[in-house]
Chain A
Amino acid sequence: MASSTGSLRRYFITRLLLVLPMVLILLTLVFMLMRVAPGNPILAALGGHLSPSQLAARERAAGYDKPLIVQYWEYLRQVFTGNLGTTITDHRPVTQIIAQNGAATLELTASAMFVAVVVGIPLGMLAGRMRDTWVDASARIFGIVIYAAPVFFLGLLAQELFGHILNWLPTSSEASVIIQANLTAHTNIPIIDAMIDGQWGDLPDLFAHLVLPAMTLGLVISGVVLRLVRVNVIQTMKGDYVEAARARGLKERDVVVHHAFRNALVPIITVTGLQAALLLSGAVLTEETFNWPGIGNQLIYYLEARDYIAVQGIITLFALAVVAISLIIDLLNAWIDPRVRY
Chain B
Amino acid sequence: MATTVPVTVDRQASLGDAEDDRSGRMRGLHHAIAPLLAARGLPRWLFWTGAAITAFFVVLAVFAPQIAPYGFNQYMVHGVRFPQQGAPSAAHWMGTTVVSEDVFSRVIFGARTSIEVVVLALAFSVAIGVPMGLISGYFGGWLDRALVLFNDSIFAFPYLLLAIVIAFLLQNSVGGGVFTAAIAITVVYIPQYFRVVRNSVLSVREESYVEAGRALGAKPRTVIRRYVFANVIQSVPVVASLNAADAILTLAGLSFLGIGMDPSVAAEWGYDISRGISDAQAGFWWTGLFPGIAIILLVTGLTLVGEGLNDSYNPLLRRPVHRSYALPGGQPAATTTALAAAEPVIRVRDLRVWYGTDRGPVRAVDGVSFEIRERETLGLVGESGCGKSTLGRGLLGLLPVGATRDGVVDFGGRNLVTASPAEMRKLRGPAIGLVFQEPMTRLDPLMRISDHFAEALRTHDPDISDAEVRRRSLEALGGVGIPPTRFRNYPYEFSGGMRQRIMIALALVFRPRFVVADEPTTALDVLVEAQILSIIADLKRNFDASLLLITHNLGIVAESCDRVAVMYAGRIVEQGAVEDIFSRPEHPYTQELMRSTISLSTRELHFIPGAPPDLVEPPSGCRFHPRCPAAMRVCAVAAPIGTEVRPGHLAECWLHGPADHLTPDDRVPLEREEIGIADEA
Interface residue stretch chosen among B156-164, B231-239, B368-376: B156-164
What is the CA–CA distance of A337 and B257 in the complex, to the nearest angstrom?
Answer: 41
CB distance from B156 to the nearest CB of A (A): 5
Nearest A residue to B437 by beta-carbon distance? Answer: A240
Collect the chain A residues with CB atoms within 8 Å of residue B447's CB.
Answer: 258-259
Asked whether any CB of chain A lies closer than 8 Å to the CB of B304, the reply is yes
Asked whether any CB of chain A lies closer than 8 Å to the CB of B273, the reply is yes
Collect the chain A residues with CB atoms within 8 Å of residue B445's CB.
Answer: 241, 263, 337, 339
What is the CA–CA distance of A289 and B503 in the complex, to the nearest angstrom?
Answer: 57
Using known A-B contacts A280-B161, A336-B446, A338-B446, determine if residue A244 contacts B153 with beta carbons closer than 8 Å: no
Collect the chain B residues with CB atoms within 8 Å of residue A244's CB.
Answer: 434, 436, 442-443, 503
Contact at A251–B425, with CB atoms within 8 Å?
A: yes
Contact at B444–A263, with CB atoms within 8 Å?
A: yes
Task: Kindly count the residue-residue contacts between A and B in the assembled complex, taking CB atoms under 8 Å apart.
Answer: 208
Collect the chain A residues with CB atoms within 8 Å of residue B258's CB.
Answer: 304
Contact at B398–A243, with CB atoms within 8 Å?
A: yes
> From residue 67 to 100 of chain A, which have CB atoms closer than 8 A to chain B?
none
What is the CA–CA distance of A152 and B278 in the complex, to the nearest angstrom?
Answer: 12
Asked whether any CB of chain B lies closer than 8 Å to the CB of A10, the reply is no
What is the CA–CA distance of A202 and B213 in the complex, to the nearest angstrom?
Answer: 73
Neighbour of B446 across the interface among A22, A262, A304, CB < 8 A: A262
Contact at B288–A153, with CB atoms within 8 Å?
A: yes
CB distance from A109 to the nearest CB of B (A): 11
Neighbour of A150 across the interface among B256, B303, B456, CB < 8 A: B256
Contact at A318–B444, with CB atoms within 8 Å?
A: no
Asked whether any CB of chain A lies closer than 8 Å to the CB of B281, the reply is yes
Contact at A235–B456, with CB atoms within 8 Å?
A: no
Using known A-B contacts A244-B503, A246-B428, A247-B434, determine if residue A315 contacts B165 with beta carbons closer than 8 Å: yes
Contact at B253–A249, with CB atoms within 8 Å?
A: no
CB distance from B257 to the nearest CB of A (A): 6
What is the CA–CA distance of A246 and B396 in the complex, to the nearest angstrom?
Answer: 10
Asked whether any CB of chain A lies closer than 8 Å to the CB of B344, the reply is no
What is the CA–CA distance of A243 and B436 in the complex, to the nearest angstrom?
Answer: 10
What is the CA–CA distance of A308 and B474 in the complex, to the nearest angstrom?
Answer: 67
Contact at B441–A247, with CB atoms within 8 Å?
A: no
Interface residue stretch chosen among A33-41, A58-66, A118-126, A184-192: A33-41
Collect the chain B residues with CB atoms within 8 Å of residue A52's CB.
Answer: none
Q: How many residues of A contact B (CB 8 A)?
A: 75
What is the CA–CA distance of A94 and B274 in the complex, to the nearest angstrom?
Answer: 28
CB distance from B470 to the nearest CB of A (A): 15
Contact at B459–A38, with CB atoms within 8 Å?
A: no
CB distance from A258 to the nearest CB of B (A): 7
Nearest A residue to B490 by beta-carbon distance? Answer: A338
Collect the chain B residues with CB atoms within 8 Å of residue A145's CB.
Answer: 296, 300
Asked whether any CB of chain A lies closer than 8 Å to the CB of B611, the reply is no
CB distance from B346 to the nearest CB of A (A): 16
What is the CA–CA distance of A267 and B211 in the complex, to the nearest angstrom?
Answer: 32
Asked whether any CB of chain B lies closer than 8 Å to the CB of A269, the reply is no
Collect the chain A residues with CB atoms within 8 Å of residue B443's CB.
Answer: 241, 244
Contact at B456–A248, with CB atoms within 8 Å?
A: yes
Contact at B300–A250, with CB atoms within 8 Å?
A: no
Nearest A residue to B492 by beta-carbon distance? Answer: A339
Contact at B160–A285, with CB atoms within 8 Å?
A: yes
Collect the chain B residues with CB atoms within 8 Å of residue A150's CB.
Answer: 249, 252-253, 256, 270, 273, 292, 295
Interface string of A156-171 (1 = CB under 8 A from B): 1101100010000001
Tell me what chain B mostly uses at the interface: helix, strand, loop, or mixed.
helix
What is the CA–CA distance of A281 and B250 in the complex, to the nearest angstrom?
Answer: 9
What is the CA–CA distance of A306 and B169 in the complex, to the nearest angstrom?
Answer: 10
Using known A-B contacts A36-B169, A156-B288, determine if residue A149 contacts B273 with beta carbons closer than 8 Å: no
> From residue 453 to 501 of chain B, which have CB atoms closer than 8 A to chain A?
455-456, 459-460, 488, 490, 492
Contact at B257–A240, with CB atoms within 8 Å?
A: no
Interface string of B123-165 (1 = CB under 8 A from A): 0000000000000000000000000011001101111111011
CB distance from A115 to the nearest CB of B (A): 19
Nearest A residue to B160 by beta-carbon distance? Answer: A281
Neighbour of A249 across the interface among B270, B436, B460, CB < 8 A: B460
Contact at A249–B425, with CB atoms within 8 Å?
A: yes
Contact at B172–A281, with CB atoms within 8 Å?
A: no
Contact at A322–B253, with CB atoms within 8 Å?
A: no
Nearest A residue to B269 by beta-carbon distance? Answer: A150
> From residue 195 to 232 of chain B, which have CB atoms closer than 8 A to chain A?
none
What is the CA–CA distance of A171 and B277 in the complex, to the nearest angstrom?
Answer: 11
CB distance from B420 to the nearest CB of A (A): 13
Contact at B280–A148, with CB atoms within 8 Å?
A: no
Contact at B157–A322, with CB atoms within 8 Å?
A: yes
Asked whether any CB of chain A lies closer than 8 Å to the CB of B179, the reply is no
CB distance from A108 to the nearest CB of B (A): 14
Collect the chain A residues with CB atoms within 8 Å of residue B446's CB.
Answer: 262-263, 336-338
Neighbour of A251 across the interface among B316, B398, B441, B459, CB < 8 A: B459
Contact at A300–B257, with CB atoms within 8 Å?
A: yes
Nearest B residue to A291 by beta-carbon distance? Answer: B277
Collect the chain B residues with CB atoms within 8 Å of residue A25's CB.
Answer: 149-150, 153
Tell me what chain A mostly uses at the interface: helix, strand, loop, or mixed.
helix
> From residue 124 to 158 of chain A, which have CB atoms closer than 8 A to chain B?
131-132, 137, 144-145, 147-150, 152-153, 155-157
Contact at A153–B273, with CB atoms within 8 Å?
A: yes
Asked whether any CB of chain B lies closer than 8 Å to the CB of A245, the reply is yes
Neighbour of B430 across the interface among A249, A250, A262, CB < 8 A: A249
Contact at B158–A240, with CB atoms within 8 Å?
A: no
Asked whether any CB of chain B lies closer than 8 Å to the CB of A212, the reply is no
What is the CA–CA distance of A160 and B285 in the complex, to the nearest angstrom?
Answer: 8
Asked whether any CB of chain A lies closer than 8 Å to the CB of B173, the reply is yes
Contact at B442–A240, with CB atoms within 8 Å?
A: yes
Asked whether any CB of chain B lies closer than 8 Å to the CB of A331, the reply is no
Collect the chain A residues with CB atoms within 8 Å of residue B307's CB.
Answer: 144
What is the CA–CA distance of A325 and B164 in the complex, to the nearest angstrom?
Answer: 21
Contact at A241–B441, with CB atoms within 8 Å?
A: yes
Contact at A254–B396, with CB atoms within 8 Å?
A: no
Interface string of A229-263 (1 = CB under 8 A from B): 00100110001110111111111001000110011
Contact at B156–A326, with CB atoms within 8 Å?
A: yes
What is the CA–CA distance of A231 and B166 in the complex, to the nearest angstrom?
Answer: 34
Using known A-B contacts A144-B300, A145-B300, A156-B292, determine if residue A254 contacts B490 with beta carbons closer than 8 Å: no
Nearest A residue to B506 by beta-carbon distance? Answer: A248
Contact at A156–B273, with CB atoms within 8 Å?
A: yes
Collect the chain A residues with CB atoms within 8 Å of residue B430's CB.
Answer: 249
Collect the chain B residues with CB atoms within 8 Å of residue A132's CB.
Answer: 41-42, 319
Most B C-beta atoms less than 10 A away, residue of A44, A148, A278, A304: A148
Asked whether any CB of chain A lies closer than 8 Å to the CB of B426, the reply is yes
Asked whether any CB of chain A lies closer than 8 Å to the CB of B47, the reply is no
Nearest B residue to A246 by beta-carbon distance? Answer: B398
Asked whether any CB of chain A lies closer than 8 Å to the CB of B636, the reply is no
Asked whether any CB of chain B lies closer than 8 Å to the CB of A284, the reply is yes
Contact at A148–B303, with CB atoms within 8 Å?
A: yes
Contact at B425–A277, with CB atoms within 8 Å?
A: no
Nearest A residue to B259 by beta-carbon distance? Answer: A303
Closest 5 CB pairs between A and B? Answer: A281-B160, A148-B299, A249-B429, A249-B428, A153-B292
Chain B interface (Cβ < 8 Å from any Cβ of A): 41-42, 149-150, 153-154, 156-162, 164-166, 168-169, 172-173, 245, 249, 252-253, 256-259, 270, 273-274, 276-277, 280-281, 283, 285, 288, 292, 295-297, 299-300, 303-304, 307, 316-317, 319, 396, 398, 425-430, 433-434, 436, 438, 441-447, 455-456, 459-460, 488, 490, 492, 503, 506-507
Beyond the given A150-B252, A164-B283, please list 7 additional residue pairs across the A-B interface where CB-CB is below 8 A.
A153-B288, A243-B436, A247-B396, A247-B434, A248-B507, A277-B156, A284-B257
Name 14 A/B residue pairs within 8 A (Cβ), A-sorted: A25-B150, A37-B172, A132-B42, A148-B249, A149-B296, A150-B292, A156-B273, A244-B436, A250-B459, A258-B444, A281-B158, A299-B161, A303-B259, A322-B157
Chain A interface (Cβ < 8 Å from any Cβ of B): 1, 22, 25-26, 29, 33-34, 36-38, 44, 131-132, 137, 144-145, 147-150, 152-153, 155-157, 159-160, 164, 171, 231, 234-235, 239-241, 243-251, 254, 258-259, 262-263, 276-278, 280-282, 284-285, 288-289, 299-300, 303-304, 306, 311, 315, 318-319, 322-323, 326, 336-339
